[in-house]
């Protein structure tokens, strides 16, 4: 449960700071969903721009400096040396905000499966987890301008209220 | 064999023989070498490495920790007894390797994508798979990616130049697979092939050690030769030196070719397929009735409300399908048209929220695994031998193309309507003993993508080269630059297209020297009769040299004979300046 400890620790530290932050867009990079998992407060449906740059990048299999640099040097507020799976769900949600919303609305999908993996949810509890997030979609994602931190906080609240799943956010 | 000639050492140092037979390392960074002459001297580098390993001290900065793969290999070959033989004090490396938890390796190959023929060159990178990794965890695995560190401020010409001739540093990055999936599946709409390799955990561990060694090292990036795919081959050579994959690609490494080499080397355990967002959307739309599709389209356009009766009359499962497709198409449009967030966020959110309220599992089935993988298509080189008539004169024809795929080449493993040709030259020897260059295409790209209710791309072409121009006085060779833009629509297995064309031509033999043409092009690309073909009608009117329109109607049909051979028939009637000519050409094509 080491990862959950870290996750909850992160929640305690960062949650209050963001609670009265009005700039929900901080950390969300030009490539959307919090550029390569480094954003803490990425915005749902962000990242529609910056695709044109990609088309260019493709032709020489290029990748743009900032991203590569950020990941290899630990800038951009993310630390490449620290794989995501040890930072719990918060970073994962930040990096996958939009795909995750789609999967949660259906109660299925690979991105949602990845989240349950990150949160250490046992295989036998996953169907219940998927059903829970679908049922409470409008609580977890309450509006179109929700940020990843709010999603994580709401997810924890929803899971705590479920007898079978509360153990994962204990 | 001397130790410094061992393929494992040469792979670890990225040494290759240059044109003069001397060893040179691909690493362009003094930080990679412990000997002064290390880039050119594997033997000196090996001696210097051994000396450095036995230097006093320890910790992360010690050469034992800086170069753990070399250390591991040397230790397996030499007796390190009685000396500081452990690199167990490499804290940073150990933590890094521990967090990656790599147990095996997959080669990831994002295929070419709709409306971007240049992506046919593709890209490859490695995914570091976990032990017992199942589908649920696949997105969480890490990837090792090698890419040019491009300055986004560079203009495209500069970019192309530096990509071809060097100037961009290539950088190794380690990123979660989900970020790469987002990039390729969602943003670029490229299907992804995942080749699980049979590297053992021991071989994988050595690969990881070597990634640590080269991670901060600069390798100059060359689009054709030393590109992403070549670098991945060099990593696999380190993991299993007997493979010798690098030697198979001395000059150019087209990603699909490198995938073929990896398959041929027996490295592949099994292959998985991951459909892109556009492929998923296209497949999903086939599963709805026309009425449901229209409903989805109107919902995505915001033309009707989510509480409309038309939706409510459907069963729960049908409502789920309609809402899912409406969302997918809106998301597709937001990304491909780069719509501002404010324009789509509200409706996108409402579609998701409405979907979540419907108590039904998604009834939509995912796309099937295509029957032919991208690496199973024909190879990029092509040679043609043919016989024909032009304007009643017989000729023999020879044609050679360097890469990659023509609209009339065997389609398996390629995208319909996508063409990219590099250096395609054809020569003719006429019966009156005249040898003639018929055409040299430097580059010839066509991107014909059918429009649907949900996906509405433009089709376009661009080409540059030299070709024959039919005039009253003869058929001089003229340099040309052509561009076209228009629309395509699918019919059956094929498509029809209409383009507006411009042509810029230059020649000493024509009167104005430089001419500009405007015209149209209509075509039908079809599949059938043992292969595929194109019926192509063009007309172009020149604006500098007045009063002169030219054009032609051609049929190009190819019968596929397995993967490596095809037979092509070309029939045409051409009109030039006060001149007409007919053409017939039958040729055999070989792909290699």
Best B138, B158, B341 member to test A by mutation, with max A CBs in 10 Å, is: B341
Read off the pLDDT band of B186 (50, 70, 90). confident
Write out pLDDT tens, residues A122-168.
Answer: 999 999 999 999 999 999 999 999 999 899 999 999 999 999 999 98
Q: What are phi and psi of B142, to 5 degrees?
A: -95, 155
Share of residues in chain B with pLDDT > 90 (%): 69
Report the alpha-carbon distance of residue B48 to residue B6 in Å, rounded. 16
Write out pLDDT tens, residues B101-139.
Answer: 999 999 999 887 656 655 667 789 999 999 988 888 999
Read off the pLDDT band of B47 (50, 70, 90). very high
- Among partner residues A55, A64, A143, which is closest to B152 by beta-carbon distance? A64
Q: Which residue has the tokens 């319909």?
A: B416
Mean pLDDT, range B281-297, rounded to an integer: 95
pLDDT at A47: 67
Report the alpha-carbon distance of residue A135 to residue B281 in Å, rounded. 25
The alpha carbon of residue B182 is apart from the nearest alpha carbon of chain A, in Å, by 9
Subunit contact B361:A86, Cβ cutoff 8 A: no
Mean pLDDT, range A26-31, rounded to an integer: 32
pLDDT at B337: 84
Q: Is the pLDDT confidence value at B175 over 50? A: yes
pLDDT at B321: 97
Q: Is the pLDDT confidence value at B231 over 90? A: yes
Mean pLDDT of chain B: 91
Q: Are B211 and B173 in contact (CB under 8 A)?
A: no
Write out pLDDT tens, residues A52-65.
Answer: 333 333 333 333 32
Write out pLDDT tens, residues B333-364.
Answer: 998 888 898 999 999 999 999 999 999 999 99
Q: Please give the model's pTM, rounded to 2 decimal places.
A: 0.83
pLDDT at B159: 67
- For the ranges B1-5, B150-154, B314-318, the one whose mean pLDDT is highest: B314-318
Report the alpha-carbon distance of residue B203 to residue B239 in Å, rounded. 5
* Among the listed residues A99, A51, A53, A43, the one whose alpha carbon sits nearest the alpha carbon of residue B336: A51
pLDDT at B111: 82
Q: Which residue of A has its CA nearest to B217?
A: A72
Report the alpha-carbon distance of residue B507 to residue B477 in Å, rounded. 7
> Comparing A26-35, A116-125, B37-46, B336-345, which segment has the lowest mean pLDDT?
A26-35
Read off the pLDDT band of B160 (50, 70, 90). low
Instruction: Name the packing angle between helices A148-160 and A126-135 (round to 10°).
Output: 120
The alpha carbon of residue A158 is apart from the nearest alpha carbon of chain B, in Å, by 15
On chain B, the residues whose CB falls within 8 A of the CB of A134 are 356
Mean pLDDT of chain A: 65
Q: Does B308 contact A at CB distance below 8 Å?
A: no
Report the alpha-carbon distance of residue A10 to residue A91 in Å, rounded. 10
pLDDT at B148: 81
pLDDT at A81: 42
Q: Which residue of B has its CA nearest to A44?
A: B345
Report the alpha-carbon distance of residue B224 to residue B228 in Å, rounded. 10
> Residue B583: exposed, middle, or buried by beta-carbon count in 10 A (0-12, 13-18, 19+)?
middle
> Residue B356: exposed, middle, or buried by beta-carbon count in 10 A (0-12, 13-18, 19+)?
buried
* Residue B253: other Cβ atoms inside 10 A: 26
Taking CA atoms, B219 is separated from B13, B141, B244, B432, B450, in Å, by 12, 25, 20, 54, 40
The alpha carbon of residue A34 is apart from the nearest alpha carbon of chain B, in Å, by 10
Report the alpha-carbon distance of residue B266 to residue A128 in Å, rounded. 42
> Comparing A102-106, B181-185, B261-265, which segment has the lowest mean pLDDT?
B181-185
Subunit contact B138:A61, Cβ cutoff 8 A: no
Report the alpha-carbon distance of residue B311 to residue B563 in Å, rounded. 48
On chain B, the residues whose CB falls within 8 A of the CB of A92 are 140, 178
pLDDT at B115: 61
Q: Are strands B459-468 and B549-561 parallel, antiparallel or unpaired?
A: unpaired
């Amino acid at each position: 449960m080491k990862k959950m400890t870290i996750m909850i620790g992160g929640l305690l530290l960062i949650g209050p700071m963001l609670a009265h932050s009005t700039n929900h867009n901080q950390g969300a990079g030009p490539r959307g969903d919090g550029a390569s998992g480094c954003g803490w407060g990425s915005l749902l449906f962000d990242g529609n721009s910056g695709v044109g740059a990609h088309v260019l990048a493709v032709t020489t299999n290029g990748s743009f400096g900032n991203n590569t640099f950020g990941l290899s040097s630990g800038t951009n507020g993310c630390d490449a040396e620290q794989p995501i799976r040890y930072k719990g769900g918060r970073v994962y949600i930040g990096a996958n905000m939009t795909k995750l919303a789609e999967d949660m609305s259906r109660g299925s999908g690979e991105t949602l499966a990845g989240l349950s993996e990150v949160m250490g949810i046992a295989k036998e509890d996953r169907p219940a987890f998927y059903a829970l997030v679908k049922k409470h979609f409008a609580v977890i994602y309450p509006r179109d301008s929700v940020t990843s931190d709010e999603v994580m906080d709401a997810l924890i609240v929803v899971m705590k209220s479920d007898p079978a799943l509360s153990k994962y956010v204990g | 064999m001397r130790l410094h000639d061992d393929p494992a050492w040469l792979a670890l140092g990225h040494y290759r023989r240059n044109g003069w037979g001397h060893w040179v390392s691909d690493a362009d960074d003094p930080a990679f070498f412990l000997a002064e002459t290390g880039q050119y001297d594997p033997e000196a580098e090996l001696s210097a490495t051994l000396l450095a390993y036995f230097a006093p001290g320890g910790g992360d900065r010690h050469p034992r920790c800086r170069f753990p793969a070399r250390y591991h290999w040397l230790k397996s070959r030499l007796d390190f007894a009685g000396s500081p033989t452990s690199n167990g004090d490499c804290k940073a490396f150990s933590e890094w390797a521990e967090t990656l938890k790599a147990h095996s390796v997959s080669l990831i190959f994002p295929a070419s994508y709709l409306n971007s023929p240049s992506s046919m060159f593709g890209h490859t990178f490695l995914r570091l798979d976990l032990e017992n990794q199942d589908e649920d965890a696949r997105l969480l695995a890490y990837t090792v990616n090698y890419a040019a560190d491009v300055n986004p401020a560079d203009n495209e010409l500069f970019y192309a130049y530096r990509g071809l001739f060097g100037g961009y540093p290539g950088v190794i990055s380690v990123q979660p697979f989900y970020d790469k999936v987002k990039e390729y599946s969602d943003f670029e709409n490229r299907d992804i092939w995942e080749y699980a390799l049979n590297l053992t955990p021991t071989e994988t561990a050595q690969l990881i050690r070597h990634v640590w060694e080269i991670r901060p090292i600069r390798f100059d990036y060359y689009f054709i030769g030393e590109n992403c795919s070549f670098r991945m081959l060099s990593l696999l050579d380190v993991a299993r030196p007997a493979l010798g994959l690098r030697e198979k690609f001395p000059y150019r490494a087209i990603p699909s070719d490198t995938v073929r080499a990896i398959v041929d080397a027996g490295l592949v355990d099994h292959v998985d397929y991951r459909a892109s967002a556009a492929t998923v959307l296209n497949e999903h739309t086939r599963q709805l009735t026309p009425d449901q599709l229209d409903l989805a389209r109107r919902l995505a356009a915001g033309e009707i409300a989510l509480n409309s009766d038309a939706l409510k009359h459907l069963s729960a499962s049908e409502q789920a399908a309609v809402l899912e497709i409406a969302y997918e198409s809106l998301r597709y449009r937001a990304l491909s048209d780069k719509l501002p967030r404010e324009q789509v966020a509200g409706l996108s959110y409402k579609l998701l929220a409405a979907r979540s309220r419907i108590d039904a599992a998604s009834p939509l089935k995912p796309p099937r695994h295509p029957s032919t993988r991208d690496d199973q298509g024909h190879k990029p080189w092509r040679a043609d031998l043919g016989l024909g008539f032009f304007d009643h004169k017989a000729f023999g024809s020879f044609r050679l193309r360097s890469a990659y795929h023509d609209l009339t080449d065997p389609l398996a493993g390629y995208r319909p309507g996508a063409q990219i040709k590099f250096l395609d030259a054809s020569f003719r020897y006429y019966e009156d003993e005249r040898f003639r260059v018929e055409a040299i295409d430097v580059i010839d790209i066509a991107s014909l993508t059918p429009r649907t209710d949900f996906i509405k791309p433009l089709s376009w072409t661009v080409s540059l080269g030299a070709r024959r121009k039919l005039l009253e006085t003869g058929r001089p060779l003229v340099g040309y630059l052509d561009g076209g833009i228009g629309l395509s629509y699918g019919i059956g297995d094929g498509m029809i297209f209409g383009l507006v064309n411009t042509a810029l031509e230059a020649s000493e033999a024509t009167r104005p020297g430089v001419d500009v043409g405007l015209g149209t092009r209509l075509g039908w690309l079809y599949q059938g009769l043992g292969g595929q073909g194109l019926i192509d009608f063009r007309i172009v009117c020149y604006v500098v040299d007045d009063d002169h329109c030219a054009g032609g109607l051609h049929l190009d049909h190819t019968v596929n004979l397995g993967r490596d051979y095809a037979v092509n028939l070309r029939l045409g009637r051409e009109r030039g300046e006060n001149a007409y000519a007919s053409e017939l050409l039958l040729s055999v094509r070989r792909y290699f």
